[in-house]
Chains A and B, each alone.
Chain A
Amino acid sequence: MKVVRVIPCLDVDKGRVVKGVNFAGLVDAGDPVALAAKYDQQGADELIFLDITASHEERDTTVEMARAVAEQVFIPFTIGGGIRTAGDARRLLRAGADKVSVNSAAVARPELISEIAEEFGSQCCVVAIDAKRTNTPGINSGYEIFVKGGREATGVDAIRWVERAVALGAGEIMVNSIDRDGTREGYDIEMTRAVADAVRVPIIASGGVGGVADLAAGVIDGGATAVLAAGIFHFGEATVADAKKALASAGLTVRPAEAWAATDMGEAR
């Protein structure tokens, strides 16, 4: 049985959740721990926190945030942003994060992926890619990897990079379309499909969701195993339950949101 995961993504900037449009014009969306607890209660399958300022401001993602979230959230969560060494990953995982995601730092130094995978296992090493359609010669797939929060082209072919990342030990790939991020036009389905066809690990579709109706295509047409969205959840336009209802009505299997309804569970006293 394949069960699609719904993953709210919380972009964190200086301790606040924000939602950007093409990585610019950030809008404040709330407190990370409070939002995480809310999504946990709504039945989110996982959460992802991305410190979007980490790579260009050379800041480490805070271990304190991982610890605070782990106190309140009993679903898996991933933290990304500013992870450059296995030591950075270790601190976050020991604080309560289940996975770490690496992006720019892995492009700069691919061994980072194998270092994390060898010490902690592939299951906790997510490689996030920010990719953009391009006509640059030498990029045969037509998708190019960008780094530094989507601002800097690398000349690296996104499909070649994903294949290499998985060979190095990436356990999951998060595919983010820079062209679509914040546009509300839906996922870049062709790009997601190109990645899903290239590797056999779980794929998270990301970037461009304008409503819950956009989610199912990421799985059915894009080949992803999980769907990520940010703004539609943060601003209260849709709940995770709405997302699951939309996926189910498209014929996909989800963990029902009502799995969460029993409030008396977990009490041993």
Chain B
Amino acid sequence: MTGPLIAVLDYGIGNLHSAKQSLCHVGADARLTADPGLIGDAAAVVLPGVGAFGACMTALHKSGLADIAVAAAADSRPFIGICVGMQLLFEGSEEAPRVPGLGVLPGVVKWLPEAEIRPQMQWNQLKLVPGASSTDPLLTGLEGAWMYFVHSLVAPLTSSVTSVCDYGGPQPATLREGSVWATQFHPEKSAAHGLKLLGNLTKLAMAPRIAS
């Protein structure tokens, strides 16, 4: 049996191999792609991201995938932003004040507290907001899970946030808004717990569409 087609948006940044490989490991038919047709056919779409917000936005526009990402986030298919891919969903970032983000979610990405070593480059434990483990299918079985974080900036703490980690205070680790999910950590680099989350995503991709 072939798993669901999951498109990992390939806009020429960093290590995308792991994102694809780990999804394949949990049974998805994951593809690294910039092909609008293939992305359109996919059951779920992943927006990865590493490095600087400004550089990622520039690369996303250059590859022609910015509008495609916004459209995919707006339709009913599961869409997930990972790490800087989470941050790109917002209107902007303090890291690159003049660079507009995708604007899928309201608010601006902020620096982690100055008193902490930046980046947070470590494993940290998820604390789910009350009820999230039963209401958010991406987080099923992941209360207290350990995930690998590498980031200096972080999403705003809004009502969309479904879990936090403690790094100089509670910092958004995951969020959900309708069919749009995001993780600040790298599930593809988070061993068994990360694979569990990607398995949950793969199940979501196989499930009937969520009304957004």
Contacts and interface: CB of A to CB of B under 8 A. Distances in A.
B146 interface: yes
Nearest to A98: B15
Contact of B191 (A70, A75, A122): A75
Interface in A87-136: 93-98, 118-124
A202 B192 contact: no
A266 B55 contact: no
Interface in B49-70: 50-52, 55
Interface in A229-269: 255-256, 259-260, 262, 265-269
A70 B165 CA distance: 26
Nearest to B12: A94
B51 to A, nearest CB: 3
A74 B189 contact: yes
B21 A268 contact: no
B contacts with A: majority SS = mixed
A265 B199 contact: yes
Query: Which residue, A98, A118, A121, A226, has most C-beta atoms of chain B within 10 A?
Result: A121
B173 interface: no
A168 interface: no
A259 B192 contact: yes
A43 B191 contact: yes
Interface residues of B, number: 52
Contact of B51 (A2, A76, A123): A123
A71 interface: yes
Q: Is the interface of A mostly helix, strand, loop or mixed?
A: loop
Contacts of B50: 120-121, 123-124
A172 interface: yes
A89 to B, nearest CB: 10
A4 B117 CA distance: 13
* Among A40, A43, A70, residue most surrounded by chain B Cβ atoms (within 10 Å): A70
A131 B81 CA distance: 41
15 contacts: A45-B123, A75-B189, A75-B190, A93-B14, A94-B17, A96-B15, A121-B14, A121-B50, A122-B119, A123-B151, A226-B122, A259-B146, A260-B191, A267-B199, A268-B27
